[in-house]
Amino acid sequence: MVRRDLLYKPVMRMGLGIAQARGDVVLFLEPDNIMIGRTWLRDMVKPFMDHKDIVGSFSMYNGYESNMPMFTKYCALFGINDPIVYYLGKSEKIPHFLRTYDKGNILYTDNTYTKVQFTRGTLPTLGDNGHMVRRELIMKVNRDPSSFLHTDAFALLAGMGFRTYGVVHNSIIHYTGSSVLDFCRRRIEYKRRYYDDKKNKRAYLVYNPYSFRDKKNLILFILYSLTIVQPLMLSIRGFLSKPESAWFLHPITCFSMVVGYGYSEIQSRISTVRK
């Protein structure tokens, strides 16, 4: 029976979908995702067929089409849904100026996919935007669909020893919007809903305040963003590899997110003190 209270909670609906699924592999495909090419599904399944220890698979790149908004192109080119995730080293995708996967421990690679093993410390933000996972494994961490959250689920699986993934050498489009301002608003709301209000209950934190690595990378992100030089150099590097003007949104987006997240964090601290 469909849980009516979950119908308007998109992240939690994943848990409900998993519980209803019957196949061996579950695909997470959001409404703002577009599969690229006729063989996309077949390519995504191949790592599961070749290796029994593969937990899940996902595309190596985000893609885009020429008529899409510049901001969607920017996010695709950098392989991100938030620049801070890039600087924390936790985006599962890679930028288009890279040709080989650069995260985790590479176990095997060929022309179609790379087999990689993560640790709890190197685990990126998995489980959304075209990810596939073995149903029998994801069911281990889907006891209550109303509390399901994809990044937490994959962190819990990693804690159980399920850490090996297939990174398929293809792309999926993630439509991220048309403006920096709208993007900032949505990311700040996401932070408030899934970090500020729940960080003590989360199995996976994009920013872990107890991690020296995360603290160092956050400080570097703030310094880079406020001084602009490093983001601009990355934009130039990207443009030289793939000439698209959207690369040059990077310094603007980084600066905007520092301001936006900074304001959000001040509000969160004030709210905590008042309680």
**141 token code pair:** 């961490």
Banded model confidence at residue 38, pLDDT cuts 50, 70, 90: very high
Residues 6+ apart with CB under 8 A from 86: 78, 79, 80, 95
Contact 101, 114 (CB under 8 A): yes
How does pLDDT run across 217-259, given as a tens digit for each residue?
A: 999 999 999 999 999 999 999 999 999 999 999 999 999 999 9
Say yes or no to pLDDT of 7 above 50: no
24 three-state secondary structure: coil
Type and span of the H or E element at 16: helix 10-20
Mean pLDDT of the chain: 91
Question: What are the CA-CA distances from residue 60 to residues 12, 76, 201, 236, 240 (Å)?
Answer: 25, 11, 30, 22, 20
DSSP strand pairing (113-117 vs 105-109): antiparallel
- Output the pLDDT for position 17: 87
209 three-state secondary structure: coil
- Output the pLDDT for position 231: 98
Tell me what the mean pLDDT of segment 14-40 comes to.
91
Closest CA to 181 of 102, 241, 249, 85: 249
β-bridge mates for residue 106, sequence order: 116
Q: How far apart are CA 145 and CA 5, in angstroms?
A: 11
Q: How far apart are CA 24 and CA 239, in angstroms?
A: 41
- Output the pLDDT for position 144: 84
Q: How far apart are CA 234 and CA 242, in angstroms?
A: 12
Tell me what the mean pLDDT of segment 27-43 comes to.
94
Banded model confidence at residue 121, pLDDT cuts 50, 70, 90: confident
Q: How far apart are CA 52 and CA 36, in angstroms?
A: 26
Highest mean pLDDT among 17-21, 31-35, 91-95: 91-95
Say yes or no to pLDDT of 75 above 90: yes
Q: What is the pTM of this model?
A: 0.90
Q: How far apart are CA 31 and CA 157, in angstroms?
A: 25
Banded model confidence at residue 2, pLDDT cuts 50, 70, 90: very low
Closest CA to 173 of 25, 68, 44, 47: 68
